[in-house]
A and B are shown apart, each in its own frame.
Chain A
């Protein structure tokens, strides 16, 4: 299977080339995507944990999400 395409250059300089990634570039690209997905999963996990803590706090305070938003101005 062919490697993904990469475009290199600057249209202002009329030196744009679109070609397949080299094997080394493709290895780097796969690492980039893996790192990005790992980062996004970590962010999603952190957000989910914050939401659980938020819900628990709202229950403790006896107010709704909408009332909390009014209180905090969000």
Chain B
């Protein structure tokens, strides 16, 4: 097999070759330490869809939940959130759903304050003035996992996202990546 176009070696590729762009571009970053965090201007017309990674998340209390809201500048949307999902705990699968909510709410259980957790979200078309969809997939301490398909039916262009926690975040990092269109 020959050396692919753009590569200098058929062995180990150590860098992205010239002319090949990354599929993910960092568009937002925040450190969680307050009760609420607004990540502004992380969604734009440049991308339709985004990945959001939350890492090293610790709550100030051992159990609680994270609320997620979509933002227009710094103003959160407070209507028309919902989801369908399934969670697994102690050998039992259970379906769950909600509609007409004022935010997306994700429960979290933290067995030990010294253990951190990670979360992933895929959010589709938040900046387009159509409904917004999101998928979440979270492992939660205590043999508890959850996958949800979330939606907000407001036909609004959102440019940011807000994370809140009733007792505050002890730590955490959020990174938002746009998926290039081509």
Contacts and interface: CB of A to CB of B under 8 A. Distances in A.
Interface of A: 4-13, 15-16, 18, 21, 25, 28-29, 31-33, 35-37, 39-40, 42-43, 46-47, 50, 65, 69, 74
A62 to B, nearest CB: 19
Contacts of B137: none
Interface residues of B, number: 38
B105 A74 contact: no
Contacts of B168: 4-5
B112 interface: no
A35 to B, nearest CB: 4
Interface in B142-177: 160, 164, 166, 168
B35 A29 contact: yes
B3 interface: no
Judged by DSSP, the binding face of B is: strand
B146 to A, nearest CB: 12
Nearest to B93: A74
Contacts of B74: 8
Nearest to A9: B40
A67 to B, nearest CB: 12
Judged by DSSP, the binding face of A is: helix
Contact of A6 (B31, B35, B107): B35
Contacts of A40: 65, 105, 107
B30 A35 contact: no
Interface in B1-51: 26-42
A36 B67 contact: yes
B35 A9 contact: no
A10 B29 contact: yes
A44 B29 CA distance: 33
Interface stretch (B94-102, B119-127, B128-136): B94-102
